[in-house]
Amino acid sequence: MKTITILVPCYNEEAVLNQLYERIQVVIKGIDNYDFKYVFVNDGSTDGTIDILRKLHAINPNVHYVDLSRNFGKEIAMIAGLDHIDSDAVVIMDADLQDPPELLPDMIEWWQRGYKDVCAKRRSRDGESWFKKWSSRTYYRLLQRLTNVPIQIDVGDFRLLDRQCVEALKLFRESQRYTKGMFSWIGFDKKEILFDRDARAAGKTKWNYWKLFNLAIEGITSFSMAPLRIASFLGCVLSIASIIYMIYVIIKTLIFGEEVRGYPSLVSIILFIGGAQIFFLGIIGEYLGRIFNETKNRPLYLVKECDGEIVIKQKF
């Protein structure tokens, strides 16, 4: 009998965890010939999330949990869960029930047909503002143009991954992670199934626009060198334009004997070029910062407790 593990990263999800578990239980009872397990990753929650996970583990031996030492972020929580999974397939889903468990039978069916990565593509997104939907579409289209990796549009973390995909993802040990790009980077046979994304069942979203902006920067700097090349190109254009303008001013002064005027415009040009240089240095700094973080070679996460046992020796 093949085993399927449902991986759920959790951060302050006490209001919805029991409802999530009950809905998944109803769905998997109708799926035969598979052994289902759960791995919940508590990403440093400050509410009663860990207490609920302990209770679920006590009543169902197939429910496992990994309690991280602090909040490392969802991207790290996912790789922590994958590191603790040994099954034929993994289903990654959010705890807020925006990813409907009722899609599990369809995912498994496509997996049986030979697809290694069965991902859910959002057809509609309830509970999100117009600006958030527009900015998301715009960002993914921009990322598609900046990278050679075929990033999937309107596809999140909700997906079924074959063991082969999981083992491939576990090879990525970079600390600044953009998992959506990694899903695309590893390749393998993918199948997209459409679904309507519901609003959160309870609680509040942990994502604000600043966090989404930082995630977008992670995606661009992780999978594209285009910003550096654009900065180099614009730097060359500004340099050539400055040289041409300088030659024009010198010739005009020598031939026609005109005074060099235009102090306001000269100051404006200096300020513009200075701002452009600072902007380009910022782009270089983003990539340099990534190199700095990776060279420290720190562990991606630390585990405090696993299935009721205090973890002394970390495994990576």
Q: What is the pLDDT of residues 160-201, one digit of tens each?
A: 999 988 898 888 888 777 777 788 888 888 888 887 776 555
CA-CA distance, 290 to 215, in Å (whole number)?
13
Radius of gyration of the chain (CA): 25
The residue type of 169 is: L
- Residue 140: pLDDT over 70: no
Long-range contact pairs involving 309-313 (C-beta distance under 8 Å, separation at least 24): none
Between β-strands 34-42 and 190-197, what pairing exists: parallel, antiparallel or unpaired? unpaired
- Residue 206: pLDDT over 60: no
CB 116 within 8 A of CB 162: yes
What's residue 7's pLDDT? 92
- What number is the average pLDDT over the span 209-230? 67
- What number is the average pLDDT over the span 135-139? 68
DSSP, res 22:
H
What's residue 46's pLDDT? 86
Q: Mean pLDDT across the chain, nearest whole number? A: 78
Structure confidence by residue, pLDDT tens digits, 245-304: 777 777 776 776 666 566 566 666 776 777 777 777 777 777 777 777 777 778 888 888
Sequence length of the chain is 316
- Residue 207: pLDDT over 60: no
What's residue 184's pLDDT? 80
CA 180, 186, 192, 198: dihedral to nearest 10 degrees?
A: -20
- Residue 115: pLDDT over 80: yes
**Residue 218 CB contacts under 8 Å (≥ 6 apart), including other chains:** 176, 177, 178
What's residue 48's pLDDT? 85
Between β-strands 190-197 and 117-125, what pairing exists: parallel, antiparallel or unpaired? parallel
Question: Which has more confidence, 89 or 263?
Answer: 89
pTM: 0.70
Structure confidence by residue, pLDDT tens digits, 262-271: 656 666 677 6
- What number is the average pLDDT over the span 40-62? 88
Phi and psi dihedrals of 260, rounded to 5? -80, 110
